[in-house]
Amino acid sequence: MTALSPQKYNTVYGRWAGVGPYYAMFPTNFAERVIKRYTDDDDTILDPFAGRGTTVFSAAHEGRRGIGIELNPVGWIYARAKLQAADKADVLDRMNEIQREAWRYRKSVSHLPEFFDYCFVSSVREFLVAARAMLNWRREKVDWTTMALLLIYLHGKRDAALSNQMRQTKSMSPDYSISWWRRERSKPPVVDPVEFMRTRIEWRYAKGRPSFLDSKIYLGDSVKRLPQIALKQEHKAQLLLTSPPYCGVTNYHYDQWLRLWLLGGPATPQRREAYCCGRFSDRRRYEALLTTVFHAAAKLLSRDAVVYVRTDRREVTLSATKRALRLAFPKKRLSAVAQPCRTPTQTALFGTVTSEVGEMDLILKPA
């Protein structure tokens, strides 16, 4: 879904741009195209719903200054590793250190739910529990890089992940998974976690590692973070490029529960119904959230900034997004450009049947 051609994997940017399986990812070439059209070198670009950081990473690569905010730690850690990755040797050393200490966590492993017995072999379980305890992923570069790479391969197809057969983008329900694995007599793959990760790390670093010190990704709620950033931000942004979550489609926390467990969360999926963490099923609260975020973002934009929002084509999301944008940017002219559905959208991925196929780009420019 990143729309990277095979030859682009021959660059540092290409190797790191696709870090992190995540729903609702911007196609990389789309972000590049918008950034080049509406900004110049050294301009600042803002994304208040940053996801795994495609906007910020593409901005940095194109010689701009990217600022992103992401509420979900999974997306945030992918973005942080893409912007500032630790040295390969340090990451490999950290992996080896975790494996040496893994035996100390056998007692903790014994308390995990049944799901983990079916999902990972015992050596992998011990390694993951040790990584969960040892990695200071919020503050240490080598630890957030190590954790980001582990999260990529935590679950997925048997030959491409540390887990038993699972989807890569969505953490499956434990009950459903156990039932399927029993029926199929599917056992977790026997792998050495460090050796498994080493080959993937060698590939990731084969062209080098990114280091974009001028671009930043913040972990937290944009409603709270944007006013804080506005107080200290030296440069006004010339472009706001983002894709907010769609109304009533998915719960990004529930659907990433296994990766969130590795980051220190509970060992069973939890439905968080906070206004900013659930499925955004309440249309009024959804629209209020967008309006609040866009209002706060407006304070970080230059007067002639362009606002570019990719959103759901369904009426429930589209009309709410349009109203929020008009309230936040009353002096800008809004135009809408329909985008055909070339790859599965969020709504399609989650089984939503609708005649309103594809997505919509909402573009606001100075009147």
Give the whole-angstrom CA distance, residue 66 versus residue 295.
19
Give me the numbers of helices (H) and strands (E) for the chain, helices first please: 16, 7
Residue 339 sits in the same domain as residue 354: yes
Residue 187: domain span: 88-204
Closest CA to 345 of 327, 331, 360, 330: 360
Give the whole-angstrom CA distance, residue 160 versus residue 179.
22
pLDDT, residue 8, reads 73
Residue 74 sits in the same domain as residue 124: no
The token pair at 125 is 């379980």
CATH code at position 222: 3.40.50.150
Residue 324 sits in the same domain as residue 192: no
Three-state DSSP at 233 gives coil
Let me know the angle formed at the C-alpha of 243 by 288 and 292, rounded to the nearest 5 degrees: 20
Residue 168 sits in the same domain as residue 233: no
Q: Which helix (H) or strand (E) holds 304?
A: strand 301-312
The token pair at 4 is 């990277």
C-alpha to C-alpha distances, 274 to 69, 251, 291, 317, nearest whole angstrom: 18, 11, 17, 19
Residue reference for tokens 């629209």: 287
- Quick check: is 187 in a domain? yes
- Quick check: is 267 in a domain? no
Residue 132 sits in the same domain as residue 114: yes
- Quick check: is 216 in a domain? yes
- Quick check: is 97 in a domain? yes
Residue 192 sits in the same domain as residue 311: no
- Quick check: is 1 in a domain? no
Residue type, 62: E
CA 283 to chain centre: 24
- Quick check: is 32 in a domain? yes
- Quick check: is 67 in a domain? yes
The token pair at 156 is 């997925």
Instruction: Look at the pTM and tell me if it is higher than 0.95.
Output: no
Residue after which a domain boundary falls, among 188, 204, 220: 204
What total number of domains does the chain contain?
2
Residue 231 sits in the same domain as residue 300: yes
Give the whole-angstrom CA distance, residue 284 versus residue 281.
9
pLDDT, residue 282, reads 79
Residue 183 sits in the same domain as residue 129: yes
pLDDT along the chain (367 residues), means of 10: 57 92 78 97 97 95 96 96 97 98 96 97 98 98 98 95 94 95 96 98 96 94 95 92 85 88 94 57 88 97 97 91 97 92 48 61 95
Residue reference for tokens 């992998």: 124
C-alpha to C-alpha distances, 263 to 6, 243, 351, nearest whole angstrom: 32, 25, 28
Cβ-contact 238, 62 below 8 angstroms? no
- Quick check: is 145 in a domain? yes
Class of residue 282 by CB neighbours under 10 A (exposed 0-12, middle 13-18, buried 19+): middle
Residue 222 sits in the same domain as residue 361: yes
Q: Could you tell me whether strands 359-366 and 332-339 are parallel, antiparallel, or unpaired per DSSP bridges? A: antiparallel
Residue 171 sits in the same domain as residue 233: no
Residue 199 sits in the same domain as residue 243: no
Give the whole-angstrom CA distance, residue 146 versus residue 90.
9
Residue 198 sits in the same domain as residue 312: no
The 10 Å Cβ neighbour count of residue 138 is 15
pLDDT, residue 353, reads 44
Give the whole-angstrom CA distance, residue 209 versus residue 272.
35
Give the whole-angstrom CA distance, residue 261 versus residue 73.
11
pLDDT, residue 253, reads 80
The helix-helix angle for 193-204 and 122-134 (nearest 10°) equals 60
